[in-house]
Structure formats: C-alpha cells, structure tokens
Structure 1
C-alpha cells in the first residue's frame, strides 16, 4: 500500500472487512458507562428517527507493508465498544437458539476460526494489557476474572451492551436486527488508512490541528513517535513504561500533569491549555536524538515524581525523617504548584539537609499563601516554576539562595494580619493548622510537619456551635453565629471521644470538657476565658496568630 486511503463507511462494514490490532503504546480501554450510555442514546435517536446515517468521527489506521492487519492509531475506544455491542447481539442469538445468526455475526464482526490451530482469531486484538482478557471475555464469551481497571471497564461495556440488547429484544427481534444493520452501513466513520506508522502519526497531528482529536497526551505521544526515527522502538518502550508507572501509582489523569510538571521544572511554567505544553515540547524536540533523550529523562524521573506524591515511597528512606514528613504535609494540603519545584530540588540538591531545608520553606510558603489567598491568579505557580528552572539550571544551588530569590512570600506582618480575621470553612485545613499551632505551642520540633488530622481521631471543635441550642448562647445573634462560628479564634481540636457528646452545649458545659483535654490550646480555654463572646474570639484569634507566625516561619535552622 503506497497511498493514503480515505473512505466514509459504516463502522460495522469497516470491522467486517479488516483485522485490527491496538499497538501496545496506546492506552488501555477507557470508556466508562456514561460514554457507552451516551453512544447508545444517540444511536437510539438516530434509528428511531429513521435517519440515513450517524457520524461517529474519524478513525486513523496504519498498515505496515506486507501486513493484512490494520493498527489503530486513533479510534480504539469507539471500535472496541462497537465490537463489544456486536458480541452482545451474538450472545443474544446464541441464547435464543438462533445459531446461524449468531455464527454470522461471529464470523463477520468478532473472529475467524483458525483451522490449523483450532482457535478463534479475533478480528480486533487489543494492546497487551487487555488482549487476553478481551479474547476470552468478549471474543470467546468465557467468564474471566478482571484484574485491571480497563478489564472492569470492558465488563461494564459488556453489561451495558447486554442490557441494551435485552431492551431491544423485549420490543421485538426486528429491533435487534435494525441496530445491527444500522451499525453495519449507517453508523459512519471517516476511515483513513495510512501506509506506515510515521505517516499515521503525522496525519494524527494534522487532525489535531483541525480540532478533530482532543487528548493532548495522545497528541504528544504521536508527535514524539513520528520524530523518533531509528530510535522508535526504544522511545515506544520508554513511553509505555513511563505511562504505566504513573498510571499505576497515581492514575491515568496524572500522566499529563506529570509531563507538565516535568517540563515546567526545566523550562518555567507551561500549561496544557491551548496546546501550550505540546507546542513547547514539539518546538524544542525535533531530532530523533532529542526525542529519545527527552523520553528517557521523562521515564527516569517518574521515580522522583511518584515519591513526591507519596511520603511512604521507599525513595524517602534515603532522606531525613523531616523531609518525609514535609512531603506528607504538602500532599495533605492537596496542592499542585509546588511539584515542579520539588522535582528540581530532588534532581539537583545532593545534600539531604539542603533538601530538608527547602521542603520546610515550601511548607511555610504554601501555608502562608493559602492563608493570605496569594495562590489565586497563577502568580505563585509561575514563580515556583521559574525557581524550579533556576534550580535545574544550577543558578540556585542552596536553600538559602532559594529563599532569598523567591518573590512571592507573604511577610510575617502580612501573614499575621490575615490570620487576625480569617474564617476557615475547610475543616481538613483547620484541623491541620490547629494541630500544627498546638505542637508549636507545646515546643515540639518541626510542628508544621504534623498532619495527624484524621477526623476519626482529631475532631474539629467549634466553641460557639454552628447551630447553637436556643437560649444557650445569648452573646450572639443568629447573624453573628454565621459570622464568627468558623473564625480561627472560635476553633480548637479535641479527641473524637471527648468531643462527641458536647457539640451544641453551652460554653459552661463545654469548659468542663476542655479542662480534661490533653491538647494545650484546648485545655487553656477553661483557664483563660470565663465567658465566650465576640471579643474573646478576637482575642484568642490574635493569640493563635502569634503562634502561627512562629509555626510556619522562614528560618533555615
């Protein structure tokens, strides 16, 4: 085959005419039940309205010289889902004694029988992760235990398809035939068959430029493969390994985030929006050697990125306990902008104490920015990425240089000023802040590391309840309850056991419980306050603010 073959045809006819395989570098089966239900809903409307066709999009296929099999470059999810639905129709006919109809569908759409090896050869072979399961569970219709997320999604697709066929057959068997015929000829795709993979990758990129394909990781992958030249097999292997490691540890959605953080740590902030990330990488990596080296580094650094997202990772055994605890804290706070920064620190700072000092600073900066609201607008993300680039390029070599050159650190006075009036609506953050303040107040080392804020162990206590008993809190109007109940000065922490029975009691009754608490900032409420009103909340908040400035300090000792 030497020319690109463009055809518009029914997807069923396309499946009937060819053998397909999914290359191992492609993603596993990803359609969830909502995607399948949406497709079936659209088909129902088209068939019920006697529409002449329904367009399902473009599929890009490549054909190697001398091979009859087509590799799916784009269109795997749609082709696989239709194949699963057709297998459900086959199963319906088998179960209802219509063996000729069942065998016809089996031969046309599902598999051909290899008489030499006495086995069904699937017309669609998925990638390594799903191939065996799909063969047994869909092609051969044998019960098989799913072991991967993609297997469970295939099970869901089969279940949804079986339900749909059952619904159709309950109306009439003619409805089942109508759907099969519609899929064969009227469920249209633009089929583009390209000679050779590199041409297919180039075409895929062109289609993306026209807005026809959307997944940026797929776009980037295909660009890199198209530029890999003689290193194609090596680049493909490293890409598969990289995506598998990130997906297994953090989930598929983290792959693009990782690539963004990796690239930003070396080049400054680069976002995926409007293909900025893709354009930046593709403009930089042109030659096969560039592509190979980039994918190798991307693959190698997965171990660092996975460790950044998991303080229990074995990687942290090489570092100080405090560094491990700082990572736990950062992950507890569920923020992303600091990750390129940590990636560069781990990549470039050989001294483990410098790593620890840098992580301590990042925790303090993150909390100060959370409290002051400086995280909004992307300024912090941009500044962190710029400093990550400086560290990667060795223009910043120590934690001190790092601290001195960062521009977006709220000062002690700015931090304290915001703390004096802050309202904390997120209980998770409030528990962490109060636990850390408690540990600073008690004189414990590295108080900002403390993240034991499990709500089943450490309970957030609103001294003035959010819903006080009528008559028990005469110092507050209902409007003032709304205004003051989530103020920092009105919050403390208690053990779940001690706090479970006193939620809406009077201050007098609550004080007796506070007196028994081993938590110092809670225990001292009974000693320091005879009543609870707006002024006491303001005064206690000022007291906690003083401690907070010391808790999330900017020292390097």
Structure 2
C-alpha cells in the first residue's frame, strides 16, 4: 500500500492532462489501437449525459515520466487516443464550416485554439502536426496524418489497427456535435472538462509493475502484458540494430502469446515459466527477477522466444481437451485424464514442472511424471489439504533440475528428496480420507470424479460426467429416514461414506431396503459394497468410508 501511495494518484480532466505543454508518447512497442464500435457507442452514450452529470470517469492512466513535461503512456492509451479522435472529429466539423464560409474568421480562430490546446503545433513549412500525443510504431504515421489533415487518409492496404483509427474518427465525425462553430466548440469544452482520469506517475518500469499488480489485485485490470512487452522490446532494440522484419516477427510472436493465454492468465504463465529457470519468486518479485533474466538484447530476445515456445504448452495444460493435444504424438493421449483432475480441483502448482518436462522428457516419461504429480496432488492438495507454499518451493527445485537436464526421467522426480517429502504416506492419507467431507451441492462434479476413480480401480470403467451422485441417506431425509437413522442423518450429508454413483437419480427418499435392491442391479462397485450392509447407520457409514479410504490409498498410489 505504501508503494502505491508514493505514486500520488491524482484526478485530472482531459483538459488538465494536456495543459501546460504536457506531451505523451505511447511506447514504440505498446499494443496497437484496438477499440471498436461497441466501445465508441458506449462512450458516446456516456458523453450525451455530461450536461447533466458534468463528469464521466475514464479510469486509471499510468504514466512513466521521461522528462519534466514528457511522459510515456504505460496504460490508458486506448482511452486517450479515442478522446483525441473525438476532438479531431469536432475540429473537422468546424473546418467544414470554414470551407462553407460560415463565420470563417471566428471558426478559424476556434480551430487554431483547439489544435494548440489538445492536438499539437503545425510546422509552418510541412504543415505536419507535432502531436501532443504520439502513438506506437504501427499507428504513429497514420494518426499524425489525421492530426495534420483533419481526415483519415483513404488509402489501400491499411492495417487492421489503422482501419480502426479511421473508423473511430469517421464514427464521431458523423455524430451531431453542433450546427454552428460556437456549439461545436462548447461541446469540446464540455467533453475535455468532463472526462476525468486518475493519473498515476511512476519513475521506472519496476514501479509501474508494482502499480499494475496493486490495481489488478483490487479488480482494476491493467495490461500487464503491455508493460512487460514494452520493457523487453526496448531492451532488444537498445542498440537500434534490429531489422524491422525481425521486430515484426517478434511482435507477431507476442500477439500470439497474449491471444492464446488472455491477459488474466498471462501473469500466472510468466511466473510458472520463470520458476522452472530461476529460484522461486512471488508475484511481487516477478518483474524484478525477469529484468535480471532478460537484461541484454540477446537475453531479452531469447526470453521472448521462450515465452512463445512455452505459451501453447501452458495454455493446453490448462485445457485438457484443447485441440493442441490432438496435434501431439499419440502417446500424450492419457495426459487428458490427469490434467482434467488437476483442472477440476484448480491445481496449477505443478505446471512449472510440467512445462519444463514437456520439452525435456520423452512422451512416455512425461505421462509417467504427470501421473505421479496427479497422484501427489490428490493426496496432498485435495484429501490432506496441506498448504501449497512448501509444495511450490519443492516444485521449483524439481523444475529447475528438469530444465537443466539433471532429471531426465519421471523416476528421477519420483525418487527425489523433494517429491518424497511432499508425498503423504498411506496412514496419513487414510486418516484424512476416513472422515473427509465435501459440500455435495456445490462440489458434485468433484465428488463424482473422485468416486469414479475408485470405481476404475475396482475394475469398473466409468465416465464421471455421465453419472449422478446418490446420497444413501437422502440429503434432505424425510421422517421415515429420521426414524430409521436417527439425528445423525444431518451430520453425514456431505460425508463421502454416504455417497455412491448411479446412472440415474431415481431413488430419492426410498427406504434403505429398496435402495439396496436397486444398487445390486447396477454395475457400480461402490453401490454393491453399500448393499452388503444390513442397515444404514452412522456406524456403517464410518465402516464404509474406512473401507473407501483403503481403496483410495491404492487407487492414488505412487509405487
């Protein structure tokens, strides 16, 4: 919180942002302009209420100070560019009035004043505008043309992003801003004094990253990929000796990374990617450590290529049924089942090992390793519910040894000191399982998965997604069950020992005798076991779950 407050967030209007000679530059490798019709329409709708509300909040803008009045836009360029294009569209409407000889003297004065206040100054020889806001390498020239000509160049071969700049300018130009020059000028005055931003100024990329993490943790989603890209690409081009063709290729690689992962997943990916190469870092220390990892043009270039290489692996570890797996060697097919289990229980800590192993191990060894980690995860994370902190530290040490090819087989991981220290022994696992509860209304899918795994171990292949969860003593028992079972009926609702799998949920509040007959007609092994009991009581729930725990210890076992 202290670091965040040092950045002195300030609420400023668009007018105040662009006053007193302030100049802003979107870094050369920042993302391209990308807003579309939905955002333009939403903003125009908000602007229509300014005469009543007076202010419209535009969110955070994060700037890095380069000189006293010169800033780089780390986050917020989409909003700044769009606001400027609105002003340019209004200026074009005033230019139309001048061309039609409507109050030309006053309108010319209005036009010049708007240009100097919000757009920039014109060179008296070339008539090109030196913009107060300059954009990245893909948008800069096109945007400058709009500023100079008050028209979007109508040329062939426009890139997607410059088509969006053109369409944005055209969209606002077509709006009914005003009939006379003074009305249009009043509209610009209202907009520029009514659009409110929270400005945060940082001194370097590291502080910017801390701001991003602070705000993102509060639910304000700033673009962490943009920040990291800006740093890496500025290092790569530090000597200004990288050909444009190579930069374009890197730019495409970066776009592919973000497209595959999405911005919300990006930080997790970079952290797991980092943690199989270097000592474990938290999210707070990630950016600083990456700067050490990629501090030269050569190492930064290699780092970007490594991110591009591992991004599809990480994305597919998150998505067991992603089509990417179908493109891999057929030996990887069993991976889907184990990854589905990890995804179901939201277990991501192993990904740092699995990413390194995918590149370092043969398919057969990778699958063996994945199974070992899956078994450990069920024991350690799901049933025993141990803290993941020590697990992350151990996984980091294992992952680095895989990455550096000290471990080349799954057995090397399984027999390592770190793995064995994490692996709960049978006695601990059985003790935790014997009285294990899980809220069955919220976690039915997870419970069905666990019970289906035990069914498979007992010789019954079953797809858990095609089963229903049957509570032996009903979740909401009627009086007959209370008379039969006693008050303990309420205490066992979420005990695994009171649940079995069935194909259909037809039994509802049937008596235990009726349920036993139905259980024996199914292929489900756990239902058969429950049918062996003469009555369903708390004692027999405990006995069944004790038996279930022993089967689970055999089903999830690393020998």
TM-score normalised according to structure 2 size: 0.70
Deviation, 1:141, is: 3.0
Structure 2 CA distance for partners of 1:487 and 1:299, relative to 1, 3 Å: same
Structure 2 CA distance for partners of 1:239 and 1:532, relative to 1, 3 Å: farther
Query: After the TM superposition, which residues 417-428 of structure 1 pair with which residues of structure 2 at under 5 Å, given as runs?
Result: 417-425=431-439, 426-428=443-445
Q: Does 1:432 align with 2:446?
A: no
Query: After the TM superposition, which residues 96-135 of structure 1 pair with which residues of structure 2 at under 5 Å, given as runs?
Result: 120-121=152-153, 130-133=161-164, 135=166
Q: What do residues 464-516 of structure 1 show as CA deviations (whole Å, max 9, x unaligned)?
A: 222112333324455x3342111111111111xx21x3333332333343233
Residue in structure 2 matched with residue 522 of structure 1 by the alignment: 527
For the residues of structure 2 that align with 1:279 and 1:112, how far apart are their CA atoms? Answer: 35
Q: Does 1:260 align with 2:271?
A: yes
For the residues of structure 2 that align with 1:54 and 1:304, how far apart are their CA atoms? Answer: 37
* More moved, 230-239 vs 353-362: 230-239
Unaligned runs of 5+ in 2: 1-11, 95-99, 120-142, 216-222
Match of 1:323 among 316, 335, 340: 335
Query: After the TM superposition, which residues 305-454 of structure 1 pair with which residues of structure 2 at under 5 Å, given as runs?
Result: 305-311=314-320, 312-313=323-324, 314-349=326-361, 351-405=362-416, 406=419, 407-425=421-439, 426-442=443-459, 452-454=463-465
Asked if the contact 1:265–1:388 (Cα under 8 Å) also holds between the matched residues in 2, the reply is yes
Deviation, 1:458, is: 1.5
* More moved, 42-51 vs 389-398: 42-51
Residue in structure 1 matched with residue 140 of structure 2 by the alignment: none
Structure 2 CA distance for partners of 1:234 and 1:509, relative to 1, 3 Å: farther
For the residues of structure 2 that align with 1:543 and 1:120, how far apart are their CA atoms? Answer: 75
Q: Does 1:140 align with 2:152?
A: no
Residue in structure 2 matched with residue 3 of structure 1 by the alignment: none
The Cα RMSD (Å) is: 5.2
For the residues of structure 1 that align with 2:205 and 2:51, how far apart are their CA atoms? Answer: 31
For the residues of structure 1 that align with 2:65 and 2:245, how far apart are their CA atoms? Answer: 22
* More moved, 235-244 vs 42-51: 42-51
Partner of 2:152, secondary structure, is: strand
Query: After the TM superposition, which residues 41-80 of structure 1 pair with which residues of structure 2 at under 5 Å, given as runs?
Result: 57=61, 59=63, 73-80=74-81
Q: Does 1:550 align with 2:554?
A: yes
Residue in structure 1 matched with residue 544 of structure 2 by the alignment: 540
TM-score normalised according to structure 1 size: 0.70
Residue in structure 2 matched with residue 205 of structure 1 by the alignment: 205
Unaligned runs of 5+ in 1: 1-6, 64-69, 94-98, 143-157, 193-199, 445-449
Structure 2 CA distance for partners of 1:401 and 1:191, relative to 1, 3 Å: closer
Q: What do residues 299-358 of structure 1 show as CA deviations (whole Å, max 9, x unaligned)?
A: 122232233233342343353432343334333333210101101111211x32211211
Structure 2 CA distance for partners of 1:86 and 1:534, relative to 1, 3 Å: farther
For the residues of structure 1 that align with 2:410 and 2:273, how far apart are their CA atoms? Answer: 20
Residue in structure 2 matched with residue 195 of structure 1 by the alignment: none
Q: What do residues 23-55 of structure 1 show as CA deviations (whole Å, max 9, x unaligned)?
A: 664176589999x9999999989985899x999
